[in-house]
């Protein structure tokens, strides 16, 4: 399903970045607060270069920001950005509303079909459909 709306590119980037299990685990760790790349690598039992590659994807998608020294990687802190997650939640809410409407419509149609022409409920096997 293609994302539409003013935040479509951001939501697409978010979903693409979160499509990789290691990046989702990094996001889960960062939910608890900012951490250094070395701490993240150790927690995930991942090599520092692999962690760095995943963090770069998360940064370029806008999910993560880095603060600290530009010169010394040991002093950099990675933290989650709220905005992409808010946009993702808004899109998911729209999707939820769509499916809620579809299911309600299906339920109404099913309930109408389960009634005889005089409005009484049909009990037992149904006859041929009109």
Cα→Cα distances 15→72, 90, 100, Å: 30, 13, 22
pLDDT of residue 41: 97
pLDDT of residue 1: 45
22-36, 48-62, 85-99, range with the lowest pLDDT: 85-99
For residue 5, give the nearest of 95, 81, 82, 85 by alpha carbon.
95
Dist CA 130 CA 115 (whole Å): 12
Dist CA 76 CA 73 (whole Å): 5
The domain ranges of the chain are 8-84
For 12, residues 6+ apart whose C-beta sits below 8 A from its C-beta are: 3
Higher pLDDT, 8 or 63: 63
The predicted-structure confidence for 68-85, as pLDDT tens digits, reads as follows 877 777 789 999 999 999
Residue/partner pairs of 67-70 with CB below 8 Å, 24 or more apart? 67/34
Query: What number is the average pLDDT over the span 47-59?
Result: 96
Higher pLDDT, 59 or 113: 59
* Confidence (pTM): 0.69
The predicted-structure confidence for 36-47, as pLDDT tens digits, reads as follows 999 999 999 999
For 98, residues 6+ apart whose C-beta sits below 8 A from its C-beta are: none
Sign of CA dihedral 63, 82, 67, 50: negative
* Cβ–Cβ < 8 Å for 19, 54: no
Could you give phi then psi for residue 78, rounded to 5 degrees? -105, 135
- What CATH number labels 8-84? 1.10.10.10
Mean pLDDT of the chain: 84
Task: Determine how β-strand 64-67 pairs with β-strand 77-80.
Answer: antiparallel
pLDDT of residue 22: 97
């Amino acid at each position: 399903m293609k994302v539409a709306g003013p935040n479509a590119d951001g939501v697409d980037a978010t979903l693409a970045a979160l499509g990789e299990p290691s990046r989702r685990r990094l996001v889960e760790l960062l939910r608890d607060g900012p951490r250094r790349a070395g701490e993240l690598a150790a927690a995930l039992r991942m090599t520092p270069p692999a962690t760095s590659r995943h963090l770069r994807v998360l940064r370029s998608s806008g999910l993560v920001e880095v603060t600290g020294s530009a010169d010394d990687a040991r002093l950099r802190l990675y933290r989650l950005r709220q905005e992409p997650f808010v946009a993702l939640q808004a899109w998911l809410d729209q999707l939820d509303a769509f499916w809620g409407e579809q299911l309600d419509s299906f339920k109404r149609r099913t309930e109408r079909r389960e009634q005889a022409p005089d409005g009484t409920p049909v009990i037992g096997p149904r006859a041929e459909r009109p």
